[in-house]
Amino acid sequence: MKTLLFFLILLSNLCFASDVKKEKYIVGLENINYPPFSYSKAEKVTRSYFRDVLDAFAQTENIEFKYKTLPVKRLFQEFIERKIDFKIPDNEYWFASKKGESAIAYSQSIYTTTEAVYTQKDIKTVSSMVIILGFAPPIPSNLHKDIKIYTTPKLESAIQMMTEGRVQSIFISKDVLNNSAPNNTFVESPHFPSRDTAYKLSSIIHPELVMKFDKWFSNNSEKIKKIKLKYNLL
């Protein structure tokens, strides 16, 4: 009995010691409902594609990520001011003119999504468009003055505006559209260019961990594939 008690105490101490050694890092996420990549605080969803990937990496490195959800512009500001350790998603082209001389380390693409302008099938010309607040659609300069842009922080509102015919088009990720409105009848508009956007992990404070993450991501393709399947991203 004493031997069993000794081993239980030893095991408890080892677990405690392992937990104490874990370095903790703050990861900034966008406070927008854009499933399966991100969710607003109001949705009370704790899992997402990004979180599952980062948590899998953290487990192998014996570190812990704490997630902080912020509005898009505030998230960028806190990142530049080094108040958070990592930002996801990120991309070299986002807020490019405001990054100054900040030395930002970016990972490879964690996922590349296709963003496009969608309309109802019978729409021939587009005079109105809804976008998620903070997003910038690729509207050709010759069409820009003829299109009224509506913005909303809520994805559900944007899709509802389209479904009810209050706007003629929506700029959105194909993956997000299929995830949020799987039975939609929208079609990609031929009048606007689509674009592939790479979602990356970034850091100013910990470039060495971004490099470690890159190596881990490349070496764990099967694990990443399973996470993608979970969120219908294949």
Indicate the class that CATH gives domain 113-194. alpha beta
> pTM for the whole thing?
0.85
Query: What are the pLDDT digits (tens) for 83-109?
Result: 999 999 999 999 888 888 889 999 999
User: What is the arithmetic mean of pLDDT over 18-25?
Assistant: 77
pLDDT at 6: 45
Name beta bridge partners: 148: 128
Tell me how far CA of residue 234 lies from CA of 16, 55, 63, 64, in angstroms.
39, 20, 28, 28
Q: Within a 10 A sphere around the Cβ of 180, how many other Cβ atoms? A: 18
Q: Look at residue 229 in the predicted model and tell me its pLDDT.
A: 95
Cα 73 from Cα 134, distance rounded (Å): 8
CATH superfamily assigned to domain 17-111+197-230: Periplasmic binding protein-like II (3.40.190.10)
Give tens-digit pLDDT for 137-155.
988 888 888 899 999 988 9
Please give the pLDDT value at position 12. 56
Identify the pLDDT of residue 123.
85
| Domains 17-111+197-230 and 113-194 fall in the same CATH topology | yes
Q: What is the mean pLDDT of residues 5-11?
A: 48
Specify whether the CB–CB gap between 141 and 120 falls below 8 A.
no
Q: Express each pLDDT in 168-203 by its tens digit.
A: 999 999 999 999 998 899 999 998 999 999 999 999
Measured CA angle at 225 (ends 135, 66), to 5 deg? 60
> Which DSSP symbol is given to 166?
S
Q: Is the dihedral of CA 103, 105, 109, 111 positive or negative?
A: negative
Encoded tokens for 36: 């399966």
> What whole-number percentage of the chain has pLDDT above 90?
68
Q: Tell me the C-alpha distance between 208 and 23, whole Å.
A: 14
Average pLDDT, the chain: 89
Domain residue limits, the chain: 17-111+197-230, 113-194
Helix, strand, coil % (nearest 5) of the chain? Answer: 40, 25, 35
